[in-house]
Structure 1
Amino acid sequence: MEIHHLLEQHSIASKFIAELRDINIQKDQMRFRRNIERLGEILAFELSKSLTYKEKSITTPLGKAITYELNEQIVICSILRAGLPLHNGILSYFDTAENTFISAYRHHISEKEFEIKVEYLASPSLEGKTVILADPMLATGGSFVNVFEALKPMGTPAKIHLVSIIGARPGVDFVSRHFPRDTHLWIATIDEDLNDLGYIVPGLGDAGDLSYGTKLQH
Protein backbone atom coordinates (compact mmCIF):
# COMPACT_ATOMS: atom_id res chain seq x y z
CA MET A 1 0.00 0.00 0.00
CA GLU A 2 1.28 3.45 -0.88
CA ILE A 3 0.97 5.94 2.00
CA HIS A 4 0.63 9.68 1.36
CA HIS A 5 1.28 11.40 4.70
CA LEU A 6 0.11 15.01 4.39
CA LEU A 7 1.93 16.51 7.37
CA GLU A 8 5.31 15.26 6.25
CA GLN A 9 5.27 18.69 4.60
CA HIS A 10 4.10 21.82 6.44
CA SER A 11 0.80 23.28 5.27
CA ILE A 12 -2.31 25.04 6.59
CA ALA A 13 -3.70 21.56 7.28
CA SER A 14 -1.67 21.63 10.51
CA LYS A 15 -3.94 24.40 11.85
CA PHE A 16 -7.11 22.41 11.20
CA ILE A 17 -5.66 19.29 12.83
CA ALA A 18 -4.52 21.29 15.85
CA GLU A 19 -8.06 22.66 16.28
CA LEU A 20 -9.53 19.15 15.99
CA ARG A 21 -7.23 17.95 18.77
CA ASP A 22 -7.62 20.93 21.12
CA ILE A 23 -10.01 20.05 23.97
CA ASN A 24 -11.25 23.63 24.17
CA ILE A 25 -11.82 24.31 20.47
CA GLN A 26 -13.35 20.88 19.80
CA LYS A 27 -16.25 21.74 22.12
CA ASP A 28 -17.61 23.75 19.18
CA GLN A 29 -19.29 20.94 17.22
CA MET A 30 -19.89 23.07 14.14
CA ARG A 31 -16.22 24.05 13.93
CA PHE A 32 -15.16 20.45 14.59
CA ARG A 33 -17.26 19.19 11.67
CA ARG A 34 -16.08 22.02 9.43
CA ASN A 35 -12.42 21.27 10.17
CA ILE A 36 -12.93 17.63 9.19
CA GLU A 37 -14.67 18.83 6.04
CA ARG A 38 -11.82 21.21 5.19
CA LEU A 39 -9.27 18.45 5.64
CA GLY A 40 -11.41 16.28 3.38
CA GLU A 41 -11.14 18.98 0.72
CA ILE A 42 -7.35 19.18 1.10
CA LEU A 43 -6.94 15.39 0.95
CA ALA A 44 -9.28 15.21 -2.06
CA PHE A 45 -7.16 17.80 -3.88
CA GLU A 46 -3.97 15.85 -3.17
CA LEU A 47 -5.63 12.60 -4.24
CA SER A 48 -6.86 14.23 -7.46
CA LYS A 49 -3.26 14.62 -8.65
CA SER A 50 -2.94 10.82 -8.90
CA LEU A 51 -6.01 10.31 -11.12
CA THR A 52 -6.26 10.17 -14.91
CA TYR A 53 -7.66 12.94 -17.11
CA LYS A 54 -8.72 13.37 -20.74
CA GLU A 55 -8.48 16.38 -23.00
CA LYS A 56 -11.64 18.34 -23.74
CA SER A 57 -12.31 21.37 -25.93
CA ILE A 58 -14.74 23.95 -24.59
CA THR A 59 -16.19 27.15 -26.05
CA THR A 60 -15.52 30.42 -24.25
CA PRO A 61 -17.04 33.82 -25.13
CA LEU A 62 -13.85 34.53 -27.13
CA GLY A 63 -13.03 31.20 -28.75
CA LYS A 64 -11.96 27.63 -27.99
CA ALA A 65 -9.94 26.41 -25.01
CA ILE A 66 -8.38 23.04 -24.30
CA THR A 67 -9.16 21.75 -20.81
CA TYR A 68 -8.88 18.44 -19.00
CA GLU A 69 -11.60 16.50 -17.24
CA LEU A 70 -11.52 13.51 -14.92
CA ASN A 71 -11.42 10.21 -16.77
CA GLU A 72 -12.41 7.94 -13.87
CA GLN A 73 -15.76 7.01 -12.35
CA ILE A 74 -15.52 7.99 -8.69
CA VAL A 75 -17.51 6.43 -5.87
CA ILE A 76 -17.11 7.99 -2.40
CA CYS A 77 -17.88 5.60 0.44
CA SER A 78 -18.15 7.03 3.93
CA ILE A 79 -18.36 5.07 7.16
CA LEU A 80 -21.26 6.33 9.26
CA ARG A 81 -21.50 8.46 11.30
CA ALA A 82 -18.13 10.12 11.83
CA GLY A 83 -17.37 9.89 8.12
CA LEU A 84 -20.14 12.27 7.06
CA PRO A 85 -18.21 15.59 7.34
CA LEU A 86 -15.20 13.99 5.65
CA HIS A 87 -17.50 12.67 2.90
CA ASN A 88 -18.90 16.18 2.34
CA GLY A 89 -15.40 17.63 2.02
CA ILE A 90 -14.37 15.05 -0.58
CA LEU A 91 -17.69 15.37 -2.42
CA SER A 92 -17.27 19.14 -2.72
CA TYR A 93 -14.25 18.44 -4.98
CA PHE A 94 -15.53 15.30 -6.73
CA ASP A 95 -19.00 16.75 -7.12
CA THR A 96 -20.16 14.31 -9.83
CA ALA A 97 -19.16 11.22 -7.84
CA GLU A 98 -21.51 8.41 -6.94
CA ASN A 99 -21.96 7.77 -3.23
CA THR A 100 -21.93 4.79 -0.90
CA PHE A 101 -22.88 4.84 2.78
CA ILE A 102 -22.11 2.06 5.21
CA SER A 103 -22.32 1.69 8.98
CA ALA A 104 -19.46 0.31 11.01
CA TYR A 105 -19.41 0.61 14.77
CA ARG A 106 -17.69 -0.82 17.82
CA HIS A 107 -19.83 -3.44 19.53
CA HIS A 108 -18.35 -3.72 23.01
CA ILE A 109 -18.05 -7.26 24.33
CA SER A 110 -16.42 -6.01 27.53
CA GLU A 111 -14.87 -2.77 28.76
CA LYS A 112 -11.71 -3.38 26.73
CA GLU A 113 -12.90 -5.81 24.05
CA PHE A 114 -14.96 -4.89 21.00
CA GLU A 115 -15.75 -6.10 17.51
CA ILE A 116 -16.56 -4.07 14.42
CA LYS A 117 -20.12 -4.61 13.18
CA VAL A 118 -21.46 -3.59 9.77
CA GLU A 119 -25.26 -3.32 9.61
CA TYR A 120 -26.23 -0.89 6.82
CA LEU A 121 -25.08 -0.53 3.22
CA ALA A 122 -26.40 1.60 0.34
CA SER A 123 -24.18 1.46 -2.72
CA PRO A 124 -24.12 1.60 -6.52
CA SER A 125 -22.06 -0.95 -8.46
CA LEU A 126 -18.34 -0.56 -7.76
CA GLU A 127 -17.25 -2.67 -10.72
CA GLY A 128 -14.33 -1.04 -12.55
CA LYS A 129 -14.68 2.24 -10.65
CA THR A 130 -12.37 4.29 -8.43
CA VAL A 131 -13.51 3.88 -4.83
CA ILE A 132 -12.61 6.46 -2.17
CA LEU A 133 -13.22 4.92 1.25
CA ALA A 134 -13.40 7.65 3.90
CA ASP A 135 -13.21 7.44 7.70
CA PRO A 136 -11.67 10.28 9.76
CA MET A 137 -10.02 8.01 12.35
CA LEU A 138 -7.86 5.02 11.43
CA ALA A 139 -7.36 3.45 14.86
CA THR A 140 -7.11 -0.36 14.80
CA GLY A 141 -7.91 -0.53 11.07
CA GLY A 142 -10.79 -2.92 11.74
CA SER A 143 -13.47 -0.61 10.34
CA PHE A 144 -11.70 -0.18 7.00
CA VAL A 145 -11.07 -3.91 6.64
CA ASN A 146 -14.60 -5.00 7.62
CA VAL A 147 -16.15 -2.41 5.32
CA PHE A 148 -13.90 -3.55 2.47
CA GLU A 149 -15.18 -7.11 2.96
CA ALA A 150 -18.80 -5.92 3.07
CA LEU A 151 -18.36 -4.02 -0.22
CA LYS A 152 -17.05 -7.00 -2.20
CA PRO A 153 -20.52 -8.09 -3.45
CA MET A 154 -20.89 -4.62 -5.01
CA GLY A 155 -18.17 -5.39 -7.58
CA THR A 156 -14.41 -5.16 -7.98
CA PRO A 157 -13.07 -1.58 -8.11
CA ALA A 158 -10.35 -0.61 -10.57
CA LYS A 159 -8.67 1.49 -7.87
CA ILE A 160 -9.02 1.90 -4.10
CA HIS A 161 -8.10 5.03 -2.13
CA LEU A 162 -8.42 5.24 1.65
CA VAL A 163 -8.82 8.72 3.16
CA SER A 164 -8.38 9.48 6.85
CA ILE A 165 -7.50 12.42 9.08
CA ILE A 166 -5.61 10.81 11.98
CA GLY A 167 -4.26 7.27 12.10
CA ALA A 168 -2.36 5.11 14.55
CA ARG A 169 0.73 3.30 13.34
CA PRO A 170 -0.65 -0.16 14.29
CA GLY A 171 -3.84 0.53 12.34
CA VAL A 172 -1.94 1.75 9.28
CA ASP A 173 0.14 -1.43 9.36
CA PHE A 174 -3.01 -3.54 9.73
CA VAL A 175 -4.78 -2.10 6.66
CA SER A 176 -1.54 -2.36 4.68
CA ARG A 177 -1.67 -6.12 5.22
CA HIS A 178 -5.36 -6.51 4.33
CA PHE A 179 -5.84 -4.29 1.26
CA PRO A 180 -4.49 -4.88 -2.26
CA ARG A 181 -0.89 -3.76 -2.70
CA ASP A 182 -1.83 -0.99 -5.15
CA THR A 183 -4.20 0.67 -2.62
CA HIS A 184 -3.40 4.29 -1.72
CA LEU A 185 -3.81 5.72 1.78
CA TRP A 186 -4.22 9.51 1.99
CA ILE A 187 -3.83 10.56 5.62
CA ALA A 188 -3.22 13.90 7.28
CA THR A 189 -1.16 12.69 10.25
CA ILE A 190 -0.10 9.45 11.95
CA ASP A 191 0.24 8.97 15.72
CA GLU A 192 2.30 6.12 17.10
CA ASP A 193 0.10 4.46 19.72
CA LEU A 194 -3.29 3.04 20.68
CA ASN A 195 -4.49 2.85 24.28
CA ASP A 196 -6.04 -0.23 25.92
CA LEU A 197 -9.47 0.77 24.60
CA GLY A 198 -8.27 0.96 21.00
CA TYR A 199 -8.26 4.76 20.77
CA ILE A 200 -5.50 6.72 19.07
CA VAL A 201 -3.00 8.44 21.41
CA PRO A 202 -2.76 11.42 21.49
CA GLY A 203 -5.50 11.40 18.84
CA LEU A 204 -8.52 13.60 19.51
CA GLY A 205 -11.14 11.40 21.18
CA ASP A 206 -14.29 10.03 19.52
CA ALA A 207 -14.82 11.87 16.20
CA GLY A 208 -18.45 10.76 15.93
CA ASP A 209 -19.36 12.01 19.40
CA LEU A 210 -17.49 15.27 18.88
CA SER A 211 -19.29 15.82 15.58
CA TYR A 212 -22.81 14.80 16.53
CA GLY A 213 -23.08 14.29 20.30
CA THR A 214 -22.55 11.36 22.63
CA LYS A 215 -24.37 8.08 22.10
CA LEU A 216 -25.50 5.17 24.22
CA GLN A 217 -23.17 2.17 23.99
CA HIS A 218 -24.69 -1.15 22.92
Structure 2
Amino acid sequence: MHIHYISENNSILNHFLSQIRDVTIQKDSMRFRKNIERIGEVMAYELSKILTYKEIDVQTPLGIKKTTALEDNVVLCSILRAGLALHTGFMNFFDDAENGFVSAMRFHPNNDDYFEIKVEYQAAPSFENKNLILIDPMLATGQSLVAVFQKLMSEETPKEIHIAVVIATPEGIEYLENNLPDNCHLWVAALDEGLNAKNYIVPGLGDAGDLAYGSKL
Protein backbone atom coordinates (compact mmCIF):
# COMPACT_ATOMS: atom_id res chain seq x y z
CA MET A 1 0.00 0.00 0.00
CA HIS A 2 1.20 3.50 -0.85
CA ILE A 3 0.72 5.71 2.22
CA HIS A 4 0.73 9.51 2.00
CA TYR A 5 1.03 11.42 5.29
CA ILE A 6 -0.14 14.90 4.36
CA SER A 7 0.45 16.75 7.64
CA GLU A 8 4.15 15.88 7.91
CA ASN A 9 4.97 19.37 6.62
CA ASN A 10 3.41 22.41 8.27
CA SER A 11 0.54 23.93 6.33
CA ILE A 12 -2.92 25.39 6.96
CA LEU A 13 -4.09 21.76 7.17
CA ASN A 14 -2.61 21.48 10.68
CA HIS A 15 -4.55 24.58 11.71
CA PHE A 16 -7.83 22.94 10.65
CA LEU A 17 -6.84 19.68 12.37
CA SER A 18 -6.18 21.45 15.66
CA GLN A 19 -9.61 23.09 15.55
CA ILE A 20 -11.58 19.88 14.95
CA ARG A 21 -9.82 18.32 17.97
CA ASP A 22 -10.25 21.28 20.35
CA VAL A 23 -13.09 20.50 22.79
CA THR A 24 -14.12 24.15 22.96
CA ILE A 25 -14.14 24.79 19.20
CA GLN A 26 -15.62 21.47 18.05
CA LYS A 27 -18.82 22.13 20.00
CA ASP A 28 -19.85 24.43 17.14
CA SER A 29 -21.17 21.79 14.72
CA MET A 30 -21.29 24.19 11.79
CA ARG A 31 -17.64 25.13 12.26
CA PHE A 32 -16.72 21.47 12.75
CA ARG A 33 -18.36 20.52 9.45
CA LYS A 34 -16.69 23.43 7.67
CA ASN A 35 -13.27 22.49 9.00
CA ILE A 36 -13.76 18.88 7.88
CA GLU A 37 -14.82 20.20 4.48
CA ARG A 38 -11.68 22.37 4.25
CA ILE A 39 -9.53 19.38 5.22
CA GLY A 40 -11.18 17.50 2.36
CA GLU A 41 -10.23 20.31 -0.02
CA VAL A 42 -6.58 20.16 1.06
CA MET A 43 -6.54 16.37 0.72
CA ALA A 44 -8.20 16.53 -2.71
CA TYR A 45 -5.55 18.99 -3.90
CA GLU A 46 -2.70 16.76 -2.68
CA LEU A 47 -4.28 13.64 -4.20
CA SER A 48 -4.81 15.43 -7.52
CA LYS A 49 -1.05 15.71 -7.99
CA ILE A 50 -0.69 12.03 -8.87
CA LEU A 51 -3.67 11.70 -11.22
CA THR A 52 -3.41 11.63 -15.01
CA TYR A 53 -3.69 14.82 -17.08
CA LYS A 54 -4.00 15.58 -20.78
CA GLU A 55 -2.78 18.52 -22.83
CA ILE A 56 -5.47 20.89 -24.07
CA ASP A 57 -5.75 24.18 -25.93
CA VAL A 58 -7.85 26.89 -24.29
CA GLN A 59 -9.24 29.77 -26.29
CA THR A 60 -8.80 33.05 -24.39
CA PRO A 61 -10.02 36.48 -25.54
CA LEU A 62 -6.52 37.18 -26.89
CA GLY A 63 -5.28 33.84 -28.16
CA ILE A 64 -4.68 30.14 -27.49
CA LYS A 65 -3.11 28.86 -24.26
CA LYS A 66 -1.71 25.34 -24.09
CA THR A 67 -2.33 23.82 -20.67
CA THR A 68 -3.47 20.59 -19.03
CA ALA A 69 -6.77 19.23 -17.72
CA LEU A 70 -7.69 16.21 -15.63
CA GLU A 71 -8.01 13.12 -17.81
CA ASP A 72 -9.00 10.56 -15.17
CA ASN A 73 -12.64 9.84 -14.40
CA VAL A 74 -13.19 10.11 -10.65
CA VAL A 75 -15.85 8.52 -8.43
CA LEU A 76 -16.13 9.78 -4.86
CA CYS A 77 -17.64 7.27 -2.44
CA SER A 78 -18.24 8.17 1.21
CA ILE A 79 -19.10 6.04 4.20
CA LEU A 80 -22.23 7.37 5.89
CA ARG A 81 -22.78 9.44 7.85
CA ALA A 82 -19.51 10.86 9.11
CA GLY A 83 -18.02 11.05 5.61
CA LEU A 84 -20.49 13.61 4.26
CA ALA A 85 -18.65 16.82 5.22
CA LEU A 86 -15.32 15.42 4.01
CA HIS A 87 -17.06 14.33 0.80
CA THR A 88 -18.19 17.92 0.22
CA GLY A 89 -14.59 19.11 0.40
CA PHE A 90 -13.56 16.61 -2.26
CA MET A 91 -16.53 17.59 -4.44
CA ASN A 92 -15.44 21.23 -4.28
CA PHE A 93 -12.28 20.28 -6.17
CA PHE A 94 -13.43 17.26 -8.19
CA ASP A 95 -16.58 19.00 -9.37
CA ASP A 96 -17.07 16.65 -12.35
CA ALA A 97 -16.80 13.52 -10.21
CA GLU A 98 -19.60 10.99 -9.87
CA ASN A 99 -20.69 10.27 -6.31
CA GLY A 100 -21.58 7.23 -4.26
CA PHE A 101 -22.55 6.53 -0.65
CA VAL A 102 -22.31 3.39 1.49
CA SER A 103 -23.38 2.77 5.08
CA ALA A 104 -21.18 0.96 7.59
CA MET A 105 -21.79 0.65 11.32
CA ARG A 106 -20.47 -1.14 14.35
CA PHE A 107 -22.99 -3.75 15.52
CA HIS A 108 -22.63 -5.09 19.08
CA PRO A 109 -24.60 -8.38 19.11
CA ASN A 110 -23.78 -9.14 22.75
CA ASN A 111 -24.06 -5.56 24.06
CA ASP A 112 -20.39 -5.58 25.01
CA ASP A 113 -17.18 -4.30 23.42
CA TYR A 114 -17.20 -6.97 20.70
CA PHE A 115 -18.57 -5.68 17.40
CA GLU A 116 -19.14 -6.67 13.79
CA ILE A 117 -19.39 -4.36 10.79
CA LYS A 118 -22.72 -4.14 8.99
CA VAL A 119 -22.82 -2.73 5.44
CA GLU A 120 -26.52 -2.27 4.68
CA TYR A 121 -26.94 0.55 2.16
CA GLN A 122 -25.18 1.28 -1.12
CA ALA A 123 -25.91 3.87 -3.80
CA ALA A 124 -23.01 4.25 -6.19
CA PRO A 125 -22.43 4.76 -9.92
CA SER A 126 -20.28 2.44 -12.00
CA PHE A 127 -16.60 2.86 -11.16
CA GLU A 128 -15.31 0.27 -13.62
CA ASN A 129 -11.87 1.44 -14.84
CA LYS A 130 -12.27 4.77 -13.02
CA ASN A 131 -10.41 6.30 -10.08
CA LEU A 132 -12.33 5.37 -6.94
CA ILE A 133 -11.79 7.57 -3.88
CA LEU A 134 -13.18 6.06 -0.67
CA ILE A 135 -13.79 8.75 1.97
CA ASP A 136 -14.09 8.21 5.74
CA PRO A 137 -12.87 10.68 8.39
CA MET A 138 -11.75 8.17 11.03
CA LEU A 139 -9.59 5.08 10.47
CA ALA A 140 -9.75 3.28 13.82
CA THR A 141 -9.62 -0.53 13.50
CA GLY A 142 -9.93 -0.42 9.70
CA GLN A 143 -12.73 -2.99 9.70
CA SER A 144 -15.37 -0.63 8.30
CA LEU A 145 -13.23 0.42 5.34
CA VAL A 146 -12.29 -3.17 4.53
CA ALA A 147 -15.93 -4.31 4.73
CA VAL A 148 -17.03 -1.51 2.40
CA PHE A 149 -14.10 -2.17 0.06
CA GLN A 150 -14.93 -5.88 -0.21
CA LYS A 151 -18.59 -5.11 -0.89
CA LEU A 152 -17.74 -2.65 -3.67
CA MET A 153 -15.03 -4.79 -5.25
CA SER A 154 -17.38 -7.77 -5.52
CA GLU A 155 -19.13 -5.95 -8.36
CA GLU A 156 -16.58 -3.86 -10.32
CA THR A 157 -12.88 -3.13 -10.68
CA PRO A 158 -11.61 0.46 -10.59
CA LYS A 159 -8.55 1.76 -12.41
CA GLU A 160 -7.04 3.07 -9.17
CA ILE A 161 -8.11 2.95 -5.52
CA HIS A 162 -7.55 5.87 -3.17
CA ILE A 163 -8.63 5.93 0.48
CA ALA A 164 -8.85 9.32 2.22
CA VAL A 165 -9.01 9.57 6.02
CA VAL A 166 -8.58 12.51 8.36
CA ILE A 167 -7.26 10.69 11.44
CA ALA A 168 -5.73 7.20 11.44
CA THR A 169 -4.18 4.79 13.93
CA PRO A 170 -1.19 2.48 13.39
CA GLU A 171 -3.51 -0.47 14.07
CA GLY A 172 -5.95 0.64 11.39
CA ILE A 173 -3.22 1.18 8.84
CA GLU A 174 -1.76 -2.25 9.57
CA TYR A 175 -5.20 -3.83 9.12
CA LEU A 176 -5.61 -2.16 5.73
CA GLU A 177 -2.14 -3.25 4.66
CA ASN A 178 -3.01 -6.86 5.54
CA ASN A 179 -6.43 -6.87 3.85
CA LEU A 180 -6.27 -4.55 0.82
CA PRO A 181 -4.31 -4.81 -2.46
CA ASP A 182 -0.75 -3.47 -2.52
CA ASN A 183 -1.59 -0.92 -5.23
CA CYS A 184 -4.04 1.04 -3.03
CA HIS A 185 -3.20 4.62 -2.05
CA LEU A 186 -3.97 5.67 1.53
CA TRP A 187 -4.12 9.42 2.22
CA VAL A 188 -3.82 10.34 5.91
CA ALA A 189 -4.20 13.87 7.24
CA ALA A 190 -3.01 12.94 10.76
CA LEU A 191 -1.62 9.82 12.44
CA ASP A 192 -2.60 9.35 16.10
CA GLU A 193 -1.19 7.21 18.92
CA GLY A 194 -3.54 4.25 18.77
CA LEU A 195 -6.76 2.68 20.06
CA ASN A 196 -8.10 2.42 23.60
CA ALA A 197 -9.83 -0.61 25.10
CA LYS A 198 -13.09 0.27 23.32
CA ASN A 199 -11.32 0.67 19.95
CA TYR A 200 -11.69 4.46 19.90
CA ILE A 201 -8.89 6.62 18.53
CA VAL A 202 -6.63 8.28 21.12
CA PRO A 203 -6.26 11.24 21.34
CA GLY A 204 -8.61 11.47 18.33
CA LEU A 205 -11.45 13.97 18.45
CA GLY A 206 -14.53 12.03 19.59
CA ASP A 207 -17.34 10.81 17.35
CA ALA A 208 -17.02 12.68 14.04
CA GLY A 209 -20.58 11.87 13.00
CA ASP A 210 -22.07 13.14 16.25
CA LEU A 211 -19.95 16.29 16.19
CA ALA A 212 -21.03 17.07 12.64
CA TYR A 213 -24.70 16.05 12.72
CA GLY A 214 -25.79 15.52 16.34
CA SER A 215 -26.05 12.52 18.61
CA LYS A 216 -27.82 9.35 17.49
CA LEU A 217 -29.88 6.70 19.26
TM beyond 0.5? yes
1:156 alignment counterpart? 157
Aligned residue identity for 1:48: S
SS in 2 for 1:87: helix
Cα distance between partner residues in 2 of 1:106 and 1:215: 13
Tell me how far 1:49 sits from its aligned partner.
Answer: 0.2
SS in 2 for 1:113: coil
1:16 alignment counterpart? 16
Cα distance between partner residues in 2 of 1:154 and 1:95: 25
Cα distance between partner residues in 2 of 1:115 and 1:36: 27
| 1:198 equivalent in alignment to 2:168 | no
SS in 2 for 1:154: coil
Cα distance between partner residues in 1 of 2:162 and 2:177: 12
Cα distance between partner residues in 1 of 2:142 and 2:27: 26
SS in 2 for 1:160: strand
RMSD: 0.8
Per-residue displacement from partner, 1:109-151 (whole Å, max 9, x unpaired)? 3231111111100111111010000000000001110000111
| 1:139 equivalent in alignment to 2:160 | no
- Check conservation: 1:126, 1:154, Cα contact below 8 A: no
What's the TM-score once normalised by structure 1's chain length?
0.97
Cα distance between partner residues in 2 of 1:7 and 1:153: 33
Cα distance between partner residues in 2 of 1:204 and 1:183: 26
Equivalences for 1:32-43 in 2 at 5 Å?
A: 32-43=32-43
Give ranges in structure 1 of 5+ residues lacking alignment: none
Aligned residue identity for 2:83: G
| 4+ residue runs over 4 A deviation | none
Cα distance between partner residues in 2 of 1:46 and 1:74: 15
Tell me how far 1:200 sits from its aligned partner.
Answer: 0.3
Per-residue displacement from partner, 1:53-79 (whole Å, max 9, x unpaired)? 000111000010112111111000000
Equivalences for 1:54-133 in 2 at 5 Å?
A: 54-109=54-109, 110-133=111-134
Identical aligned residues as a percent: 55
What's the TM-score once normalised by structure 2's chain length?
0.97
Give ranges in structure 2 of 5+ residues lacking alignment: none
Aligned residue identity for 2:36: I
Count of aligned residue pairs for this structure pair: 216
Per-residue displacement from partner, 1:14-58 (whole Å, max 9, x unpaired)? 111111111111100000001110000000000000001000111
Aligned residue identity for 2:32: F
Cα distance between partner residues in 2 of 1:79 and 1:13: 22
